[in-house]
Structure 1
Amino acid sequence: MATVRKRTLPSGKVAWLAGYTDGGGKRRFKQFATKKEAEAYLLQARSQVASGVHTPDSVSPTVAEAAELWLQRCERDKLEATTLRQYRTHVNLHIVPRIGATKLSRLTAPGVNAFVDQLLADGRSREMCRRVLVSLSAIVTEAQRRGLVTVNNVRSASPVKRSTRDDARPEMPTKAELKAIIEATPDKWRPMILTLVFTGLRGSELRGLLWEDVDLRKGVVRVRRRVDRFNAFGPPKSKAGTRDIPLPPNLLRVLKEWKLACPNGKLGLVFPNGNGGIESHGNILSRVFWPIQITAGVTVMRDGNDEQGRAVKVPDAKFSLHALRHAAAALWIEQGLGAKRIQSLMGHASIQQTFDRYGYLLEARDDEAAMMAGIETGLLS
């Protein structure tokens, strides 16, 4: 039997108590400030009980408890160490400190919106808020799977919109800067830099690239694995990350020559360290890409010190390694590839991801073979 009755608290204030019987035959009660709120809750609870999906507040875990269950599931599923580390950062630094004590059954869409607003007010970027929200939704989904909560209100919350400002666009070198970088690249590192520019590989995919993944006869790079920051091999970031990328003619020639000079190692890596092992991301930046940019004059002025310790402005490398991936996409788009093909070549999980990052560059054209040759002609001639 479902009832709403008035209750006078010891403080003298009036409250309204909603009472009902759950799916297990147990009597449940919940208190509200107004009769209208109690009746609305009772109507919802009775409907959920009838559908067999009701979770009383008293048995609902907190967000913190549900987050730990989710992380345990991620560990059990043997996600990559870097992914687990990122998820724990979302939970420990952003989610638990703000809403960890909230019961999942009381996590409403407006509450989630307020949580995001708080993150933004605390100086978190929109991209960080978007990722944290994805983790929060996964936490609630796992709780649903366990029967600990009825609905995932995170999905009903307002999405975090990406900034439309120009400075939110992917950071990438111009064609003039790319040409300067290529011209300044020593022969030893030329195969690596050209591969990044003309294939759009992620740094982790480049570091995990094996010669067995490079078909020098057909002129194709097959992305089948990556290496994380702990030098552990794993599959690409998503199912879409498994892809084939055609090689333009000059890069194909460079890779054929590089295979003869490449340090040998038991792993068969295309771009190993001097001992044939996995090269670290930090070494590629500090020993290769950053010095090349300094030599090429592709720099920005940053705070530093002179030999006497005085504060001065000094030139520093302008771009991260990931900027070459964005540049590859821009070059493909300039040559006329459409959004779906860009999505495929970049290994994006959704077409929306492609539009979010490169929508301002996209336009439709044809002739992919001519495009691949055309990219090289502009930069290597």
Structure 2
Amino acid sequence: MPRPRTGTIQRHGDHWDARITLQDGSRPWICLPAGYSEARARDRAKSLAETARAEGATRPPRGRTAAAPAGETVAAWVERWTAAREERGLSSASGDLGRLRKWLFPQLGDKPITAVTRRDVEAFVEHLDSSVRAGEQSWKTAVNTWGLVSKLFDDACSAKTLSLRVLASNPAAEVRGPDRGIKKAKAYLYPSEFLPLVSSPNISIEWRRAVALATYLYVRASELRALTWDDVDLERGIIHVHRSLDREGSAKSTKTGTTRRFTIEPALMPLLRAMHAESGGRGRVIQLPDDRHLARALRGLMTTARLDRCELYAADATRKSMTWHDLRATGITWLAIRGDDPLKIMQRAGHAGFQTTQGYIREAEAVRAGFGDVFPPLPLSLWEGGVSSGNRPESAQVRGIMVEAPGIEPGSARHPVYLRSRA
């Protein structure tokens, strides 16, 4: 007499997963609805195992759909989908889940995923358009959310993880996405504005160095955080950008998944040599606070340096105020102003497609006359005298370097913040 099959269970976040043995020997995990007690989960696992044996169930062949757990909702499936994406190392998975919880779950979260129709998806797109018109989100956020929803329904049909394939057809296929709005103009610095910013005696040397590195290396903030001295070849003047840091400080690939080596701007070499000597060539090149603080910090720095061009701070229907990421855009624009080969600009910037690079080239062609000399020599104050750890206010948790911004009220959008790093 065969041994009774009871299945096994394992806690997974807010729900239990049941594992059963199929006729072909495979042992898939099945997501049980949230709210089950341990006893109920064990009973359900036993029931599923007995049914699988009685029906001679096997794992679906590749390309076919798997049976969705009974009554699995869109929200429950998305949780499983997110877990699978995290296992694959997609660092954006947790952030994507937050976006779906905010916009998708109130509309379709409680609906069984196998019951979602094209009309349901079209109604969701209509909701996104309405929220944009009401000022609840930007059109770009709506478009990004729609891209995520389109992807999840596509994966529900043809995911590499077979247990995620629960739909025979994609209800989001050929559904028109949210309306697109005006693409806001980005801001960047002219050389005549950059030099006062990195020369200001009222700004700490750490902040000024961070601005210089972000501009002259044209790297993303997450890539700059990940740079170590092992990535900087001072003898040959070459830098290797091959990873970034996520919000938790864990290493991951660059945004586009590409690595790149390129020659360091000559004007940056004296600063890098000085910083290398100060650190002994060990550890991170520089520390940055997380992205939530960088844009506000940069605007405080610009105010302190008395940069008063209105476009740097304008935030309206057609313009976007300067952010830390725009220091990278500044460096890339300068490459185009200098007339560097377009393919070299694309490689140095790590762009996934040439269309992105072309945008910088077109901008450069329009403003080149009277722009000024790009990548000017950096002020000696960035490295002469250096900086010792004894000058930094420290605690067991945080080292902070205050940006002085006279005349700015605490709590305002431009109030100074600390440059933070984990001790």
For residues 223-276 of structure 1, the C-alpha deviation after alignment (integer angstroms, 9 at most, x for no partner) is 122222222222222313x222321111022211221123775xx21114xxxx
The within-5 A match list for 1:209-288 is: 209-240=227-258, 242-262=259-279, 268-272=283-287, 279-281=288-290, 285=294
CA contact (8 A) 2:240 2:261 kept: yes
Distance 1:344-1:60 versus aligned 2 partners, 3 A rule: farther
Relative to total residues, which structure has the larger strand share, 1 or 2?
Answer: 1
Please give the per-residue CA displacement for 1:189-224, whole angstroms capped at 9, x wherever unaligned.
544322111111111111111001111122222112
Q: Does 1:73 align with 2:84?
A: yes
Amino acid at match of 2:264: L
Question: Aligned with 2:146: secondary structure?
Answer: helix
Identity of paired residues, percent? 21
Q: How does 1:92-241 map to 2 (within 5 A)?
A: 92-102=101-111, 103=113, 105-107=116-118, 110-111=122-123, 113-123=125-135, 124-144=137-157, 145=159, 146-154=164-172, 156-160=174-178, 163-165=181-183, 168-184=184-200, 187-240=205-258
> Which runs of 5 or more residues in structure 1 are unaligned?
1-51, 273-278, 302-317, 365-373
Q: Secondary structure at the match of 1:218?
A: coil
Matched, 1:64 2:81: no
Asked if structure 1 preserves the Cα contact closer than 8 Å seen for 2:223 and 2:254, the reply is yes
Of stretches 341-350 and 287-296 in structure 1, the one that deviates more from structure 2 is 287-296
Using the TM superposition, give the Cα deviation of residue 337 of structure 1 relative to its aligned residue in structure 2, in angstroms.
3.8
CA gap 1:95/1:263 in 2 versus in 1, 3 angstroms:
farther
Distance 2:196 2:308 in 1: 11
Looking at structure 2, the residues matched to 338 and 380 of structure 1 have their Cα atoms a distance apart, in angstroms, of 28
Shift of 1:135: 1.5
Conservation of the 8 A alpha-carbon contact between 1:204 and 1:228: yes
- Contact persistence 1:343–1:351 (CA under 8 A): yes
Amino acid of the structure 1 residue aligned with 2:145: V
Report the 3-state secondary structure (helix = DSSP H, G, I; strand = E; otherwise coil) of the residue aligned with 2:272. Answer: helix
Q: How many angstroms does 1:85 deviate by?
A: 2.9
TM-score by length of 2: 0.58
Code of the aligned partner of 1:114: E
Higher percent of residues as helix: 1
- Deviation sequence 1:293-317 (CA, Å, 0-9, x none): 233112589xxxxxxxxxxxxxxxx
Relative to structure 2, which stretch is displaced further, 139-148 or 332-341? 332-341
Q: CA deviation at 1:58?
A: 12
For 1:25-45, what per-residue CA distance to the aligned partner results, in whole angstroms no more than 9, with x for missing partners? Answer: xxxxxxxxxxxxxxxxxxxxx
Residues 323-376 of structure 1 deviation map (CA, whole Å, 9 limit, x = unaligned):
211111211222224654443322233334445x64741659xxxxxxxxx632
C-alpha separation in 2, matches of 1:160 and 1:363: 32
Deviation of the 1:150 alpha carbon: 3.1
Q: What one-letter code is carried by the residue in structure 2 that aligns with 1:336?
A: G
Question: What runs of 5+ residues in structure 2 fail to find an aligned partner?
Answer: 1-62, 311-320, 367-372, 381-423
Which secondary structure does the structure 2 equivalent of 1:136 belong to? helix
Measured against aligned partners, the alpha-carbon deviations of 1:47-68 in whole angstroms (never above 9, x if no partner) come to xxxxx97999998965334322
Q: CA deviation at 1:379?
A: 7.7
TM-score (normalizing by structure 1): 0.64
Once the 2 structures are TM-superposed, how far is the Cα of residue 84 of structure 1 from its aligned partner? 3.0
Q: Describe the shift of the 1:159–1:332 C-alpha distance in structure 2 as closer, same or farther (beyond 3 A).
A: farther
Contact 1:61 1:148 in 2 (8 A): no
- Of 361, 364, 370, which residue of structure 1 is paired with 2:363? 361
Deviation (angstroms), 1:94: 0.8
Q: 1:348 — aligned with what?
A: 351
* Compared CA separation, residues 155 and 214, structure 1 to 2 (3 A): farther
Give how far 1:159 is off: 4.7
Alignment length (residue pairs): 292
Structure 1 position 330 matched with structure 2 position 333: yes
| In 1, Cα distance between equivalents of 2:173 and 2:341 | 30
Which residue identity does 2:86 align to in structure 1?
E
User: What does the per-residue CA deviation read over 1:118-161, in whole Å, with 9 as the maximum and x for residues that have no partner?
Assistant: 34234211221122122212211221134322343535233556
Question: Is the 1:63–1:99 Cα contact (8 Å) retained in structure 2?
Answer: yes
